[in-house]
Amino acid sequence: MDLKVTRCEIENRIAMVTLHRPGRGNSWTQQMNAEYRHVMAGLDENPEVRVIVVTGSGKQFCVGADFKALDHYRDSDDDYVASLRDDSMARPGHGVRPEFDHDMAWHWGLRKPVIAAINGACAGIAMALAAFCDLRYAAAGAKFTTAAPRLGLPAEYGLAWLLPRMIGITQAADVLMTGRIFLADEAKEMGLLNAVYSREGFLEQVMKTAADMAENVSPMAVTTTKRQLYGELLQQDVGAAIEASKRLIGEHMRSADYREGVSAFQEGRRPNFEPTL
């Protein structure tokens, strides 16, 4: 697929995926959705990639849905759900759990960790994209808003399910019902972000985390941990989670990565883990 509104670069086992609509705030379109899914599917299958970083071109992450699309639905009788169906799109992360086989939730089915590097405005559907990533970092002063209620819309793309689990129902009600703009520092206080970095050198700071993960953690262990983290989010039985983790630990202890991890720790060197296949 020719990439027109996204970019992808791979270096040192880290993939940088960029939402790229200069002059349009990297606003989300069906074309961007198709390209993004295509790129992410390819990266998840690439054994040379261990970490994926998602960011936006210029000074913005993604300002939400393109206003041309919003205008279209305002003046049209088209069925919104039907208009989004496109069986030709890539299906990254699918097949792990039925709950993950949906827009944005497919991030949880990926083998690779995904880091949202929120370099600027993050609005609407971009809030969902970032929320379904595994780690989230933002540049100081970056603006966040769900925007939906100010457009006459309800919470979108599962945010009414996800945000209460991330930041608590009190904070989620505020964010989802007011649609107000809030800044990165407040988002960090809520628990939405892992960290806030200065704009100067923002990506370099994020890449330090990506590089550490690419160099020092087992890809197989990260994949399994993702399966645990998001799968167990859907369960209520802590005992079942404990017993499942014990079984997984036993399986991993028979792996080459475990032997390498222990040896590297004992020898005081960086581990040489196997790529995820």
**Residue written as token pair 């960790």:** 113
pLDDT by residue (tens digit) across 31-58? 999 999 999 999 999 999 999 999 999 9
| Mean pLDDT estimate for the chain | 90
Report the candidate in 61, 81, 65, 32 with the shortest Cα–Cα distance to residue 137. Answer: 61
Q: Is 71 exposed, middle or buried (0-12, 13-18, 19+ CB in 10 A)?
A: exposed
Q: For 122-152, what is each residue's pLDDT tens digit?
A: 999 999 999 999 999 999 999 999 999 988 8
- Measured over the CA atoms of residue 176, residue 52, residue 112 and residue 42, the dihedral's sign is positive
27: pLDDT strictly greater than 90: yes
Give the pLDDT band (50/70/90) at residue 173: very high
How far is residue 119's CA from residue 219's CA, in Å, rounded to a whole number? 26
Q: Could you tell me which residue, 100 or 76, shows the higher pLDDT? A: 100
Per-residue model confidence as pLDDT tens digits over 218-230:
999 999 999 999 9
pTM: 0.89
Res 75 pLDDT > 80: no
pLDDT at position 93 over 90: yes
pLDDT at 172: 97
